[in-house]
Chain A
Amino acid sequence: MTSPALGARPGDLGRRGGAPRRPGRIGRYRTEDVLTAALFLLPAFAVLGVFVLYPIVAAGHISLTDWNGFDPVKNFVGFDNYVALAENGEFWNSLLVTVVYATGVCLLSVVSGLGVALLLDAPIRGRGLYRGIYFLPAVTSSVAVAIVWRYLLDPSGYVNTLLADLGIEGPDWLQDRWLALGALTLLTVWKNVGFNAVLYLTALQALPASVYEAAALDGAGPWQRLRAITVPLLAPMTFFVLVQALITSFQAFDLVYVFTEGGPRGGTEVLGMLMYREAFRLGDFGGGTAIAFVTLFLVLGVTLVNWRVSGAGRSALR
């Protein structure tokens, strides 16, 4: 095994202005470490650099051109793509849909994740089994769960059959704009509840028991303890869950593509669907990338506000 680290001659690289010349060092770094690091980082950074980091920069450029994805010529058009978005009714519809969807997913993710975690945070029988069951949708593909729920919500599907047994006439869920968006929101939360519960569960188990004992001595009831101790102490995890839910809903594509195909009449056309249609169906790569950037800035903006408001981000993402 010949590693460059072993082959390095001490002193070869001991330059760098000001720093004392010492054998086997580059400035304050060890030559062997620097060379090994370069060797170890190279493969991952080559892949990430070409397929993630470079595309971020390239996307910034593409969004300022009229490129169709195939033409070798990219004409610089300034902010025309963004101006066109601002004048595009479909974009505003998509933005509204995404904001409503994201709000629902964020709120319900926190409530359901914390709820299940609190139920599981006790020495009860079958705890592992419950956890495993709740986690099942999270490991199943979006395509599969979207197919199943699409048929469960069919006018002659199982959900309406159950409702009929109760004497209720079920609606045609996916043909009504708001019902479809509501169903999509619930489907997303349903898929991720196990994941969020496990996150909250680990945070719950790290909470100091002494605080609870002290509170119990002071006569605080279970509800008071939840509100005054558990929820505030879990704030960093709540921040993390919210950011995750936010990114999930602003990036939603697979679920929507199969569940409703963006319909009915654009009722569930989230920004991801709109971008896909704009770029890959209509061949407008410039416009598609502009939508992607608007998405990025919205996610960053909301995350920043959330960070400031909760004041908890620091500890969650350190």
Chain B
Amino acid sequence: MRPRLLGRLARHAVLIAGAAVVVVPFLWMFTTSLQTRAETYTNDSILPTSWHWENYVTAWQAAPFGQYYLNSLVMATGIVAGHLVLDALAAYAFARLDFPLKRALFTVLLAALMVPTFVTIIPAYSLVASFGWIDSYAGLIVPRLADVFGIILLRQYFSTIPVELEEAARIDGCSRLGIFWRIVVPLARPAFATLAIFSFLFAWNDFLWPLLVTNSDDLRTIQIGLSAFVGRYGTSWNYLMAGTLTATVPSIVVFMIFQRALVRGIAMTGVKD
């Protein structure tokens, strides 16, 4: 018994050391956000010793973080809604319907996954510019209304729903759209939840595309606003960390609430039997 207990302790020791490397930067961000400017250069404690919550107010007044937040929320909502509807419809067609060029179309999607964003970003940018969508919600949202990852994720899940359920509904005279809406969508709710979380995190954290298609503070998303804040207030670590923390909170909250669905999603798309 003794060696097993020792082994378990060693396992915990290594895991805790690793967890510290992960957590300390986050803790440092929190602590620094509550210090005075002088303290940020002199105080070495990793736990907060002073509690200057007003730093958050100052940071939010120094830059239009409220507007950035709103822009990110609008963009994320649009993208999540788009993925849930457009990806789901396409995924159902690939999972259940038989039509010409099905394999070819699916292969094209898989191949597109391998193409780095950089290849498509210049033409996509020119296209959006020619539509007059620079510095608009349309420019932020429309090009990302559908994505290949979501189609693959949902297709995978739809295929696991027993066909018999759908066949029974067909015999009862239900149309394909009716089957999709009344049977498949309710049964696939966990997969929709997973996709919604992935899409939200993607949209909230996205950087390069919003950087290119926004010019003004009215349309900048939180990540772009934050990176501009570094340039303007780079030496005020406390305000900078207050801004960074507020930009990070939504992702962390979503993650903590939906951790299970997220991990299940990775298992679903990562490993295929």
Residues of A within 8 A of B (CB): 1, 3, 5-6, 26-27, 29-30, 32-34, 36-41, 43-45, 47-48, 50-56, 58-59, 62, 69, 116, 119-120, 122, 124-125, 128, 130-137, 139-145, 147-152, 156, 158, 161, 190, 193-195, 198-199, 202-203, 206, 237, 240, 247, 250-251, 253-254, 257-258, 271-272, 275-276, 279-280, 285, 288-289, 291-293, 295-296, 299-300, 303, 316, 318
Contacts and interface: CB of A to CB of B under 8 A. Distances in A.
30 contacts: A26-B100, A29-B99, A41-B90, A43-B89, A43-B146, A47-B143, A48-B146, A51-B144, A52-B115, A54-B123, A55-B119, A55-B121, A55-B123, A59-B120, A69-B126, A133-B22, A137-B22, A139-B251, A141-B205, A141-B223, A142-B207, A143-B207, A144-B226, A144-B247, A147-B227, A147-B240, A271-B118, A289-B122, A291-B118, A296-B115
Contacts of A258: 227, 230
B49 interface: no
B241 to A, nearest CB: 8
Given A40-B90, A124-B8, A144 B122 contact: no
A198 B263 contact: yes
Contacts of B187: none
Given A53-B112, A142-B207, A295 B44 contact: no
A242 B259 CA distance: 24
B273 to A, nearest CB: 8
Interface string B15-45: 1001101110110110010000000010010
A44 B240 contact: no
Interface residues of B, number: 92
A136 B41 contact: no
B176 interface: yes
A156 B89 contact: no
Contacts of A150: 230
Contact of A43 (B21, B86, B148): B86
B93 A37 contact: yes
Given A40-B97, A47-B146, A131 B263 contact: yes
Given A53-B108, A69-B122, A299 B90 contact: no
A262 to B, nearest CB: 14
A199 B266 contact: yes
B6 interface: no
B11 A124 contact: yes
B148 A257 contact: no
Nearest to B177: A3
A47 B119 CA distance: 17
B148 A48 contact: yes
A122 B11 contact: yes
B122 A279 contact: yes
A251 B175 contact: no
A283 to B, nearest CB: 11
A289 B125 CA distance: 12
A45 B86 CA distance: 9
B183 interface: no
Contacts of A140: 205, 248, 251-252
Contacts of A47: 82, 86, 142-146
Contact of B151 (A30, A44, A254, A295): A44
Nearest to A293: B119
A296 B114 CA distance: 8
A288 B212 CA distance: 14
Interface in B252-273: 252, 254-256, 259, 262-263, 266-267, 270-273
Contacts of A38: 99
B128 to A, nearest CB: 8
Nearest to B147: A48
Contacts of A6: 175
Contacts of B123: 54-55, 58-59, 62, 289
Nearest to A187: B25
A156 B40 CA distance: 10
B208 interface: yes
Contacts of A300: 114
B132 interface: no
Interface in B83-111: 85-87, 89-90, 92-93, 97-100, 102, 105, 108-109
B214 interface: no
A124 B143 contact: no
Contacts of A139: 201, 205, 251-252, 254-255, 262
B119 to A, nearest CB: 4
Q: Which of B120, B147, B252 has the most CB of A within 10 A?
A: B120
Pairs A-B, 7 closest by C-beta atoms:
A55-B123, A141-B205, A44-B90, A58-B123, A55-B120, A292-B118, A51-B143
Given A148-B29, A156-B41, A116 B90 contact: no
B108 to A, nearest CB: 7
A303 B267 CA distance: 22
B175 A149 contact: no
Given A47-B145, A158-B28, A141 B271 contact: no
B207 A152 contact: no
B163 to A, nearest CB: 13
A280 B207 contact: no
Interface in B233-251: 237, 240-241, 244, 247-248, 251
